[in-house]
Amino acid sequence: MSPVLERRPLATSRNQVAGSRLLLIGGAAFAVVLAGWLGYALTHPAWYTVDPADLHVYNSGGLIVRHVSPPYNPSFQHPLYDWPLSKTGLKFTYTPFAALFFVPTSYLPWSVLPRLSQAANLALLLAAAWFTLHGLGCRDRRVKAGGTLLAGAAAMFTEPVLRTFYLGQINMLLMALIIGDLGQPDRRGYKGMATGLAAGIKLVPLVFIPYLLLTRRFRAAATACCAFAATVGLGFIVIPGESGDWWLHGLFFADGRTGFVGWGGNQSLKGIITRFAGSISAGNAWWWAAALSAALIGLTTAVLLDRAGHHLLAILATALVGLLDSPISWDHHWVWGVPGMIAAAYYACRAWRDGRRAAARWCAALATALLLIFAAWPGELWSVPVTGAGDFTNGLIWAGPNSRVSAFALFGDNPGFREYHWRGLQNVSGNAFILTGIALLILLAVVALRTQPRRASGARPA
């Protein structure tokens, strides 16, 4: 018998054992972390783990579409975008289709909706982790299941994830839709549809359409465009007044409607530049230059990574462009750090298996660094009073003083905003997510450039 044929059953057996062990470890880790979180939620006041201000805005959008029809109150020409919907004065800032999307949830009683949102976000977190491992090339179901549960356990220690749970955000849904959609084989005719729908809810996923075009996935790009156009058309059919305001009168570009863009929770290029410039207007020119540079570098990097066979890394590079260039990237938008950690850990394991110990250590160090940077550290470390948000929704970005969120207090611009007066390490911690995103984009660009000669020579991508 051929030695090759003799080795195959042994290798398969070893893979099965490794997969079973990973499934056992991942399942145990996830069970322990989930039990700890549930125990914390049950032994503390509800507002320690849930204050669904954002979910209230989404739900109110659905209620307005259901119950309000012309003639409107003269004070509110288009109530979907004019009415303040929460105690902080927040207004509905999403697309008209997003309001239609939340109509079904508006039928659910508010007494159960926040906790139901948390359960859904947990399931979507695991789905995103599963899709990420699939996109990285993992095909063994036990390995994927174990890796998904282990990643889910680690992710529940991160601030963006817990903040998503806390506020009732939908970033996990959008991330799972995009990774699952773009990870499909190119032969699938519906590839791109979920990405277009995600862009119909929040505009930032539109960045993936240029990515699809540049990587010559023209059918997927066309599908995404058609799905997005359908969401716009549906909005004009059902709520034409609000759709006209949003699309025809530039409401979609009015980032100031979400609050002060320099607030510490905004981890985007515009946020950090505004904080350093000392006013919104002073930073605008710098932001345009930085945003165009990030788009050029990021999309070029994505194309090179895709050509080298690193499709998931190409998706992550494109997601970084969206996070960096969007005028508003709140801390909970950075749930994309989770697939970044998974990718680093996966490449660490693969490098170790292939005998490349140095590469494995570097990738493991990167995964660990991402977990520490995005971790949900106890707020008491930063002298944050526990008057809401509990102990564990205060990451590094909250270490410095931040302007207080109260009714209408953070709208417009004010030289007295605390973020304008950060000093020393406060500028590092307060901008931790955005600085990490810039560093990751540079790292991915280096990886993309290093893989090209190997690809050209016909060797397996490193």
| Per-residue pLDDT reduced to its tens digit, 220-231 | 999 999 999 999
How many independent structural domains does the chain possess? 1
* Position 323 pLDDT exceeds 80: yes
Taking residues 27-56, what's their average pLDDT? 89
* Position 119 pLDDT exceeds 90: yes
What is the C-alpha R_g of the chain? Answer: 23
Lowest mean pLDDT among 6-20, 158-172, 368-382, 395-409: 6-20
With cut-offs at 50, 70 and 90, classify the pLDDT of residue 386.
Answer: low
Is residue 80 one of the residues assigned to a domain?
Answer: yes
Report the pLDDT value the prediction gives residue 378, as an integer from 0 to 100: 78
Report the pLDDT value the prediction gives residue 233, as an integer from 0 to 100: 95
Report the pLDDT value the prediction gives residue 67, as an integer from 0 to 100: 74
Bigger pLDDT: 250 or 165?
165
Is residue 5 one of the residues assigned to a domain?
Answer: no
Report the pLDDT value the prediction gives residue 421, as an integer from 0 to 100: 87
Cα–Cα dist 110/461, whole Å: 51
Is residue 9 one of the residues assigned to a domain?
Answer: no
Burial (Cβ within 10 Å: 0-12, 13-18, ≥19) of residue 388: exposed
Lowest mean pLDDT among 125-139, 184-198, 302-316, 376-390: 376-390
With cut-offs at 50, 70 and 90, classify the pLDDT of residue 74.
Answer: very low
Is residue 8 one of the residues assigned to a domain?
Answer: no
Cα-Cα-Cα-Cα dihedral sign, residues 328, 303, 300, 224: negative
Cα–Cα dist 398/421, whole Å: 14
Report the pLDDT value the prediction gives residue 245, as an integer from 0 to 100: 81
Taking residues 170-195, what's their average pLDDT? 95
Cα–Cα dist 304/254, whole Å: 34
Bigger pLDDT: 242 or 37?
37
Contact 230, 239 (CB under 8 A): no
* Position 76 pLDDT exceeds 60: no
Is residue 1 one of the residues assigned to a domain?
Answer: no
pLDDT > 70 in the chain, percent: 83
Bigger pLDDT: 444 or 8?
444
Is residue 6 one of the residues assigned to a domain?
Answer: no
Bigger pLDDT: 139 or 90?
139
Residues 6+ apart with CB under 8 A from 36: none
Is residue 131 one of the residues assigned to a domain?
Answer: yes
With cut-offs at 50, 70 and 90, classify the pLDDT of residue 73.
Answer: very low
Mean pLDDT of the chain: 86
* Position 458 pLDDT exceeds 80: no
* Position 347 pLDDT exceeds 80: yes
Taking residues 94-113, what's their average pLDDT? 91
* Position 71 pLDDT exceeds 60: no
Residue 65 CB neighbour total at 10 angstroms: 22
With cut-offs at 50, 70 and 90, classify the pLDDT of residue 41.
Answer: confident
Taking residues 21-41, what's their average pLDDT? 92
**Cα–chain center distance at 231:** 21
The domain containing residue 357 runs over which residues?
17-456
Lowest mean pLDDT among 31-35, 367-371, 394-398: 394-398
Bigger pLDDT: 253 or 441?
441
Report the pLDDT value the prediction gives residue 88, as an integer from 0 to 100: 56
* Residue 244: DSSP 8-state: I
Report the pLDDT value the prediction gives residue 226, as an integer from 0 to 100: 97
Is residue 2 one of the residues assigned to a domain?
Answer: no
* Position 409 pLDDT exceeds 50: yes
Report the pLDDT value the prediction gives residue 43, as an integer from 0 to 100: 87
